[in-house]
Structure 1
Amino acid sequence: MAALSVNIATDNMLLHILFLSGALATCPQESNLFITVPQMEALSGSCLQIPCNFSAEPEIPLNNSNYVGLWTIDDSNHKPNIVVFSSKNTVNIYPMNITGNLSEKDCTTLFSSLNINYTNTYYFRIETNGTFRATAICDPLQITVTDSPPIPRIEISGDLKEKESVTISCSASTPCPHSPPKLTWNLQQDPPNNIEENTDRTFTTKIQETITLSDTHDGFTINCSATYPVNEGREVKTAEERKTLNVSYAPKDTSVSISPSGLVSAGSWVNLTCYSRAKPPASFSWFKNSKDGAIRVAEGDFYSFNVTDVTDGDYYCVATNNLGNETSSTIHLNVKAESPDPSLPLEPVIGGIIGIIVLISLVSQTGEELTVKEPARKTQEEEEEKEEDIHYGEIDFSKQRPEASSSSEQDSGQQQDTLYAQVKVSQTANSRTQTADSPEDLYAQVKKK
């Protein structure tokens, strides 16, 4: 790995040397004019302000009124001989204007109404009444004109942690300070836009806001838009940048759950689960309250154990990360006072209960059937009794006998009895017949007796 780093550093050094050698090869030793100018990127339809300063070695002993500034580009022979702008001309090829004071060695230039055809390499030249001419051949200006506006930059100062105050800024390159972009974002409505000058004398438009971070800012996406006016304000071009905040925070919303819930029996299993929001993720510890204080019983977000009489009580968890910790509410485990007899299998008990229920059901159904059939049998017997009934009637069989003595009459009176005859009544479907012995026969039968 160290050897690879040395090789990369060596390659970079060689490339740097080759680049300098090439630059020096195109820079003649007799050149004595130098400029300081950044490489510029411009937007088509807008303008470009080019900060520029020059120096000469040796110094040019000229009067202030004799300075003439020019901008040139290469000709077909790659010589910077095509003059596209001269400060002494009222009409030029390119819409440029030197706004700096040449007597103060300020060659700042405003390039207006740019289009993509103006992308080129430019050279600055100084002339004095035709008696002096020097071109900054070693310090060319590269101008790139694009149709797409520069993308704004979002920067955040400070650590992205909850309770920390950070300054968030959005800035956009402002190549044309006369028509700066308009910056907007979703952190505040109509933020004030400030134009700042950079160390290289270019300009930047910026908006910023200071906020105190919380867990609610984690995952929040900042949207910043830069709108550039072009074609003298008749049109606009917009570029947008987004950045999502990655905020660290201590555990939040820590809670516990139990399964199964409610009253549980000894010998069964219980699962406790701890939940929490945290960044970075939290670690979990389980505690049980006792008369001597809290006792640590497990680690991890999931805690499972077999229930016994001694496991009855209050449980809670604590979520912890490097920013803090949070304790959940307690959850109570209720254990039944009686435990099931392990010597009595559960299946036979359940089977016996089911059998008793089935037996009771069958007996009830049989009783109902017997109760329903009994009245039908009695009805049949009643019908049979109706076919043959025995009726008893009182019949007087006293006879008139010859008069006799009083004693005989007394005996006769004593012999007068009441007899009962048995009458057989038969009934058919269409008629009913009664039969009985005659009185004489009955009397004779009685007398024989």
Structure 2
Amino acid sequence: MNGTVSFILIGCLLQGALGRDWAIWMPQSIEALSGSCVLIPCTFEIPSEYDQDLAANAKGRFMKGHAFGDRILLESSTARLVIKRSSIQGYLIGNLLEKNCTSILNNFTLRDSNKYLFRVESPNLLKFSFKEGVQINVTDSPPKPKLTPERVEVMEGASVSLSCSAAAPCPKLPPNLTWTPRLSDSVDQLQENEDRTKSVSSVLTFTASHLHHGQKITCRALYTLQQGDTQKTSEASLTLRVLYSPENTSVSVSPSGSVFAGSSVTLTCNSNANPPVQNYTWYKMKGRDIEVVGTGDKSVLLVSATDGGHYFCEARNPRGAQRSETVFLFFEGSKCSLAQHIICGTLVFLYILTVCVGVYKYKSLCKQIQAQPGEKGKDTYDRLQISTITSSDYDVIRKDMDASRGTDEGTCDYENIKRNKQKGAARNVQ
């Protein structure tokens, strides 16, 4: 379950004039899941003089820890294990007569992590414990699946194949692999590794799109335990990197809505691309002609009131280019500045104030006229109706006024003559 696990070759691999020697082949280590079984691939070799002793009545045993530890008797593929001081059960699935000691041990627990040695026995002289064995490490959580390749960077439109493999230490309960998101159908397949352990693999194939860029792909392994319906999961993920030309290129206007003469507008070119956009070009349409009005690595263009018209942008990266739709800028009538707003407001206020003062003075004057006491001729004046005045009435009124004025003037003249005579007499006395 740790990937490629090297075999241990115990004994002499070279066979020559001296003949065969004691040797065994097993994985160096196996990771087992608590509550599940474990498969131990195993083959062995014995000296040729013991071949006749390897008969049908031969038995195989696994010993836990050392040569004198707990002994697990493997009778046959149908018989259960006979084990001392251990809860482990299992059976031999290999044929001892063919020197195949492959076995399955059931219901491993965390306390069963240990090194396991193999021993072959027969009623005759064949009794031998191989000195090297397999280290079985029991974990409570299943190991993570392995994704291949670990890093994906492809061009848009290319075919992508992702492989997910998860160890199957218990071949009769292999894990179930699922992909998220499910971009296409996939099929799980149980396969044998180089060290003859088992694993389940699944291949996901799809065509890369710009929509897949930055997407997280997850392979999840679901393990079912031997006891009950308990399940455990583990997962591995990678992030897709897809190279594509600019997509969804568009222009945004700020501020949006009505734009007044004298103000400025900011145009921003928006585009999705990988690698990112490296160059932006701004165009303005003049009739049937197109004029370049800005270039560079910035996506912003500042437009004033005199620059109204149709605009669009082009985004470009090493993969290609894309142009946006056209936007139209129209600047409405003048718009007061802040100072102009203040001046306009002040003038309006003064105008309203002047009107209010005038009305107030007019009403006050009317009240004063109505409150004045009666005078000569007031009764006569009050009785007058302007609309009924005739020339004869006017003459009568005028005579009355002249008579009154004459009396007053005569009195004044008499007083003046009297004062002058008195002043002349005084000068004569002197």
Residues 131-150 of structure 1, C-alpha deviation per residue, up to 9 Å, x if partnerless? 2344432x421122233233
Q: Do residues 320 (structure 1) and 307 (structure 2) align?
A: no
Report the Cα distance in structure 2 between the residues aligned to 1:390 and 1:144, rounded to whole angstroms. 131
Give 2:89's match in structure 1, choosing from 95, 115, 118.
95
Aligned match of 1:126: 120
- Which range moved further: 204-213 or 150-159? 150-159
With CA pairs under 8 Å and 6+ residues apart, which has the higher RCO, 1 or 2? 2
1:40–1:324 CA distance, 2 compared to 1 (3 A):
same
| Unaligned stretches of 5+ residues in structure 1 | 1-19, 393-419, 425-449
- What amino acid is aligned across from residue 331 of structure 1 in structure 2? V
Report the Cα distance in structure 1 between the residues aligned to 2:348 and 2:361, rounded to whole angstroms. 20
Q: Do residues 274 (structure 1) and 264 (structure 2) align?
A: no
Report the Cα distance in structure 1 between the residues aligned to 2:20 and 2:117, rounded to whole angstroms. 13
Give 2:370's match in structure 1, choosing from 374, 379, 384.
379
Q: Do residues 41 (structure 1) and 35 (structure 2) align?
A: no
Residues 207-241 of structure 1, C-alpha deviation per residue, up to 9 Å, x if partnerless? 443333333334444454433333x4414131221
- Which range moved further: 85-94 or 282-291? 85-94
Percent identity reads 28
Equivalent residues of 1:217, 1:245 under 8 A apart = no
Report the Cα distance in structure 2 between the residues aligned to 1:334 and 1:108, rounded to whole angstroms. 84
Bigger radius of gyration: 1
- What amino acid is aligned across from residue 370 of structure 2 in structure 1? T
Aligned match of 2:250: 255
Report the Cα distance in structure 1 between the residues aligned to 2:328 and 2:21, rounded to whole angstroms. 90
DSSP-derived class of the 2:359 partner:
helix
Give 2:157's match in structure 1, choosing from 154, 158, 163.
163
Equivalent residues of 2:91, 2:105 under 8 A apart = yes
Within a 5 Å distance, the mapping from 1:248-397 to structure 2 comes to 248=242, 249-260=244-255, 262-263=258-259, 265=261, 269-289=264-284, 290=286, 292-295=289-292, 297-305=294-302, 307=304, 309=306, 311-334=307-330, 357=348, 360-380=351-371, 383-384=374-375, 389=380
Aligned match of 2:409: none
The number of aligned residues is 357
1:57–1:43 CA distance, 2 compared to 1 (3 A):
same
Equivalent residues of 2:166, 2:221 under 8 A apart = yes
1:365–1:70 CA distance, 2 compared to 1 (3 A):
same
Give the TM-score of the pair, scaled to structure 2. 0.66
- What amino acid is aligned across from residue 317 of structure 1 in structure 2? C
Residues 319-353 of structure 1, C-alpha deviation per residue, up to 9 Å, x if partnerless? 22333332222233446899x9xxxx996x87876
Q: Do residues 217 (structure 1) and 212 (structure 2) align?
A: yes
Report the Cα distance in structure 1 between the residues aligned to 2:187 and 2:364, rounded to whole angstroms. 103
Report the Cα distance in structure 2 between the residues aligned to 1:391 and 1:182, rounded to whole angstroms. 118
1:365–1:119 CA distance, 2 compared to 1 (3 A):
closer
Report the Cα distance in structure 1 between the residues aligned to 2:365 and 2:309, rounded to whole angstroms. 64
Report the Cα distance in structure 1 between the residues aligned to 2:209 and 2:31, rounded to whole angstroms. 39
Report the Cα distance in structure 1 between the residues aligned to 2:185 and 2:297, rounded to whole angstroms. 48
Equivalent residues of 2:281, 2:315 under 8 A apart = no
Report the Cα distance in structure 2 between the residues aligned to 1:304 and 1:87, rounded to whole angstroms. 82
| CA-CA distance at 1:40 after TM superposition | 1.5
| Unaligned stretches of 5+ residues in structure 2 | 1-7, 12-17, 384-395, 401-430
1:246–1:186 CA distance, 2 compared to 1 (3 A):
closer
Report the Cα distance in structure 1 between the residues aligned to 2:162 and 2:100, rounded to whole angstroms. 35
Within a 5 Å distance, the mapping from 1:142-157 to structure 2 comes to 142-155=135-148
CA RMSD in angstroms, aligned pairs only: 4.4
Report the Cα distance in structure 1 between the residues aligned to 2:39 and 2:133, rounded to whole angstroms. 16
